[in-house]
Structure 1
Amino acid sequence: MRRFIAILAAAATFVLTLASCGGSDGSTSGSSSPAVSNSPTTTSSPSWPKPTNAALPKAMVDQLQAQLTSYIAEKKLVGVTASVVTRDGMWAGAAGVDGAGKTLSPDSAMVIASTTKTFTAAEILLLSAQGKINLDAPVTDYVSLPFDAQGATVRQLATMTSGFPDLPEATIRPKVSADLTKEWKCTDVVALVDPKAARKGSLGGAAAYNGLNYYVLGMVIEKVTSKPLADAIRTDLLVPAGVTRVWTQTGDKPEKPSAPLAMPVDDTTNPVVDATSGYLPSAAAATSSCAGAGMAADAPSLARWGYLLYGGYVIDNSLVKTMTTPNPMGGDNSYGFGTMIDSDNGDPLWGHAGNYTQYTSILLVWPKTSTVVSVLVPMTGGTDNDVRGDLAFQLKQTATASN
């Protein structure tokens, strides 16, 4: 358990940069991940029972809520929201306030940072299954890049094995802070990459976490669908899944249905908050995070997404297997396809963490018990990049204590 929390915290170090939240034989095609058919598929039988809106037992709910309250006091957080979804029922709770001192509620919307990558990866796999993307084709078959992609394939981007250059936070954060009203595109961020910058990992090798991969994948999605990223994800994923309180903040503000917006504790060096924008935390911060870290959600919607996605209700189970197959060469988080992978006492543990634009998030999935936990915090993870994995484990243990 502690090993996975440590891994997620380490991953958040990479998530802090836009080039993150990626040895190699030098080949320019292929991947260590399993192949995915590029022909249309039908959704296979889901792995888990359909999610229910039934409430968990009152004694359990009281304990879960007490854990939130004691946690923010212990960790000196302003506030937190969280949700648990199991095959038997669900719970969502909140404690404390946001960065503006507003009392949090379970449906408070926050940026989910790099947990956005689970949505982007699912969209790429869905488009592949529909024959619109060849995962093993060079990504430059779809989009142009301002640096040498060295033949990296779409699959290699999604699995963090592209060996792409780094894009440090120090490059982008001051530009975002300088004009919080600017609405960025994925291409605007990718254009900032220095072609001579040091590369993360090597082509086709061990996973080297680099969020730049997912900014480029956002460009691919818009190219092949001829739609803005927000429209593609809503049409292909959110509406079919019945998940309405998730927003892709590239033109999709968290306002329909109405969402209480939870602003974060702002950065004093490079402020990112503009509470008048309708975006979280501002137009510039939200849109510049693009397909790598820009989505927003409330905790119960994020947990429900995790249950539906990894349970086989959103994409075919064969595609879920692709998402959750670790890189056999290892590397950062044994990264799969948009999924951080580990084990909990020998049982599979999947999910993603995020720490960017002054928010932290974590989505953890225990497939053996079909249990999903989400945690959202309107604060940065700080110097230790804490993404609150310990709280997620506490909540899971309480929710499954009788199993």
Structure 2
Amino acid sequence: MKATLIPLRRACVAATAATLLLAPAATASAYRSTTAPAPAAPSPSADTTFAQLTPAVAAKLDAAIRRTMTETKVPGVIVGLWAPGKGSYVKTFGVADKATGAPMRTDLNVRIGSETKTFTVTALLQLVDQGKIGLDDPIGTYIAGVPNGDRITLRELAGMRSGLFNYSEDPAFDKALTSDPDHVFTPKQLLDYSFKHPVNFAPDARFEYSNTNLILLGLVIEKITGRPLAEVVNQDVIERAGLHHTLFPTGAEFPAPHAQGYTNQTASGKIENSTNWDPSWAWAAGAVISDLQDLRSWAKTVATGTLLTPATQAQRLMTKPIGIPGDGYGLGIFDIQGWIGHNGSLPGYETLTVYLPEAKATMVILLNTDVTVNGQEPSTLFGTAITSIVTPAHVYPGKKPAVHGR
């Protein structure tokens, strides 16, 4: 999807069109506050990377989030900030259901789109640690029929440097999805949409976001383990990480409670409720469901490599340029102005889950729309507004041009 930084797809789930979603702006009665009491003021020598979350700072955050809601017309937002010694800020704004007016709540599940990539690549890297695969193995060793398959490595797939055409930008795929959002796609069908196009560049020549890469990695995981990808991710990654409200679904299931999602990436171009659209088209690239507290935990897990050996985690975090000075993409993870993690966008939902090692701080933002504003993902606009206040030296995504991918 064409998005600021790295979302999931965009022939119909991208961020090129600037269609505004008409929804009520947050008011004092339209959000819940769960801001934790701020700790005592720090000494002059204390770290200043992350702002002390005092009532005054919380008030600035409230105002910035409300302004961004007005700008983006997002129905509902969940925001969580945590930093050791600095306090926490956890609030919900707006509505989870435009039809009923039910408010956003901190326990609601959402579809996390491209954040799924952090789970899929973790499963892949676990196989590296087990000595079952090598990052520099050609994809052709495992999957036949891949253009340049004898040259493209698993590392280049995970790092978005394969040159393979992004299936979600294919017009025929776009038509198939928007005309029948309940259609169940197979991984082979998704690859067929990609492989009918020529490669965009030689392996490792440059960065280009492509969901095709993750479909291939999902198939590699299935081939090596002999198990369905959903089972591998659910058991070997999600359970091992201690996440209790995160799921790689096998169909269109969406555990309650969940927010209703709204998108304009439809056949008509009008905003529709996309809550129950089948996510098979995203599979290894974007099917996972999670909630605020699980993503808070996962942010640190994936950024610090809890489930991997230190050597493999170090390889994961070896980022390469993505076209913005100081920013880079590693193996299924980005480093944007010091924030490590991933964003996600799926019809009806956007998420941002990042960790700032310098302050051991975590930021999670969950939205129930993917409607863009002047070509920008709303999650990015919220991320920028929030970090401008709490981490002015690490503003997400900074003042540089946006990276567009799908």
Common topology (TM > 0.5): yes
Contact 2:117 2:214 in 1 (8 A): yes
Matched, 1:335 2:326: no
Could you tell me which of 342, 346, 358 is aligned with 1:352? 342
Q: Match of 1:40?
A: none
Q: Distance in 2 between matches of 1:124 and 1:374?
A: 24
Q: How does 1:59-98 map to 2 (within 5 A)?
A: 59=55, 64-65=61-62, 67-88=64-85, 90-98=88-96
1:92 deviates by 3.0
Contact 1:99 1:379 in 2 (8 A): no
Question: Which residue identity lines up with residue 72 of structure 1 in the other structure?
Answer: M
1:179 deviates by 3.1
Q: Distance in 1 between matches of 2:179 and 2:66?
A: 36
1:252 deviates by 7.8
Q: List runs of 5+ in structure 2 lacking aligned partners.
A: 16-33, 39-53, 393-406
Q: Match of 1:135?
A: 135
Matched, 1:323 2:323: no
What do residues 291-319 of structure 1 show as CA deviations (whole Å, max 9, x unaligned)? 11222222332232112221332323333
**Structure with greater helix share of residues:** 1
SS of the residue corresponding to residue 137 of structure 1 reads coil
1:56 deviates by 5.2
Q: Match of 1:312?
A: 305
| More off after superposition, 223-232 vs 101-110 | 101-110
Q: Distance in 1 between matches of 2:12 and 2:139?
A: 19
What do residues 277-296 of structure 1 show as CA deviations (whole Å, max 9, x unaligned)? xxx73353x11111112222
Q: Match of 1:103?
A: 103
Question: Which residue identity lines up with residue 131 of structure 1 in the other structure?
Answer: G
Q: How does 1:254-265 map to 2 (within 5 A)?
A: 254-255=254-255, 258-265=256-263
Count of matched residue pairs: 350
Could you tell me which of 9, 15, 23 is aligned with 2:4? 9
Q: Match of 1:391?
A: 382
- Report the TM-score when normalising by structure 1: 0.75
Q: Distance in 2 between matches of 1:220 and 1:17?
A: 26
Distance 1:103 1:289, change over 3 A: same
What do residues 219-241 of structure 1 show as CA deviations (whole Å, max 9, x unaligned)? 11122122222211111111111
- Report the TM-score when normalising by structure 2: 0.75
Q: Match of 1:281?
A: 275
Q: Distance in 1 between matches of 2:136 and 2:13?
A: 22
Contact 2:3 2:375 in 1 (8 A): no
Q: Match of 2:353?
A: 363
Q: Distance in 1 between matches of 2:386 and 2:190?
A: 37
Question: Which residue identity lines up with residue 188 of structure 2 in the other structure?
Answer: T
Q: Distance in 1 between matches of 2:344 and 2:282?
A: 12
Q: Distance in 2 between matches of 1:20 and 1:218?
A: 22
Contact 1:20 1:211 in 2 (8 A): no
Contact 1:112 1:361 in 2 (8 A): yes
Q: How does 1:18-57 map to 2 (within 5 A)?
A: 55=36, 57=38
Q: Match of 1:379?
A: 369
Q: How does 1:225-244 map to 2 (within 5 A)?
A: 225-244=225-244
Distance 1:220 1:296, change over 3 A: same
Contact 1:187 1:219 in 2 (8 A): no
Distance 1:314 1:146, change over 3 A: closer
Distance 1:357 1:395, change over 3 A: same
Matched, 1:178 2:175: no
What do residues 195-252 of structure 1 show as CA deviations (whole Å, max 9, x unaligned)? 3x14334212222221210111111112212222221111111111111222223348
Contact 1:299 1:374 in 2 (8 A): yes
Contact 1:140 1:149 in 2 (8 A): yes
